[in-house]
Amino acid sequence: MRGLFVVVEGLDRAGKSTQVSRLASALDAKAIKFPGNIPREDRTTAIGKMIDSYLVQQSELDDRAIHLLFSANRWEARQGIVTCLESGKNIVCDRYAFSGIAYSCAKGLSYQWCKAPDVGLPEPDVTIFLDLSVEEASRRGGYGEERYESVSMQSKVREAFAQIRKDMPQGKWVVVDAGKSVDEVAAECESVVRSLAKPSSASLAPLFAQ
Ligand code: Z5A
Ligand code: MG
């Protein structure tokens, strides 16, 4: 039986990294994140370094070029994800293709164009969207150090996530109120995953194939 592939998404400061760590412990899962790579879950590949330099505003890139780099960063991790899941290990992933779409759409690129490079990646069994208002997120502090960390950008990102939600098959996108305490959110995320059916086949479906 393959492992479960669970993605956690949300705005900046929604608590994704906190919850990914909690959920990975609860499920004895491997925690991974994007941008980043397996097996070193940070921005260390050649592509990851280019993304990091862009995010910390040390380099400039065309909006489409950086979008494709974020996608390439997922593709370079694809085999590692598949191998891990096929070995029976669960994965909990901090951001995925949905962040790629949401942030680039928020910059004005078209939804269909943004979606295309990630078509065919492993499809998560479920994506948990940690829902938090932009105002609450900004109160959690730390805005302003990286590109995209502004209230106006985050508002557009939130709208783009709402569009993705409408596009997702039933049951594949679950919204959790991220405004509750860390323990309450963790309990809800765990209950979402525990209520999932066991994976029906050993292989993973391709993302956005329908
Ligand atoms: N990006 C993109 O454009 N395209 C892509 O394809 C991908 C990403 C994959 C870096 O992401 C940037 O890359 C990001 C999107 C873009 N945009 N920006 N800027 P990142 O994942 O590396 O970002 P991050 O550094 O992990 O930060 P984050 O996402 O903003 O935070 P978080 O992981 O959601 O939250 P946290 O670190 O768990 O918690 C934040 C704070 O809130 C912290 O002080 C916690 O103690 C506190 N917290 C957490 N939960 C709670 C609750 N429940 N109550 C109160 N306080 C809480
Ligand atoms: Mg984080």
Read off the CATH number of the domain in which 185 is found: 3.40.50.300
Tell me which residue has its CA closest to atom 26 in ligand 1: 17
Strand partners, 178: none
Q: Give the burial class of 187: count Cβ atoms within 10 A of its Cβ; 0-12 exposed, 13-18 middle, 19 or more buried.
A: middle
Q: What is the mean pLDDT of residues 189-198?
A: 95
Residue 22 has pLDDT above 60, yes or no: yes
pTM, full prediction: 0.96
How many independent structural domains does the chain possess?
Answer: 1
Q: What local confidence, expressed as pLDDT, does residue 209 receive?
A: 87
Q: Which atom of ligand 1 is nearest to the CA of 12?
A: 30
Residue 38 has pLDDT above 50, yes or no: no
92 found inside a domain: yes
Distances (CA, A) of 36 to 74, 80, 84, 112: 8, 12, 16, 24
Q: What local confidence, expressed as pLDDT, does residue 8 receive?
A: 98
Residue range(s) defining the domain that contains residue 84: 5-194
67 found inside a domain: yes
Q: Which atom of ligand 1 is nearest to the CA of 148?
A: 19
Q: What is the mean pLDDT of residues 142-164?
A: 89
pLDDT-based confidence at 39, cuts 50/70/90?
Answer: very low
Amino acid at position 151, single letter? V
10 found inside a domain: yes
Q: What is the mean pLDDT of residues 11-16?
A: 96
Residue 85 has pLDDT above 90, yes or no: yes
Q: Please give the Cα distance from 55 to 53 (Å, whole number).
A: 6
ipTM of the complex: 0.97
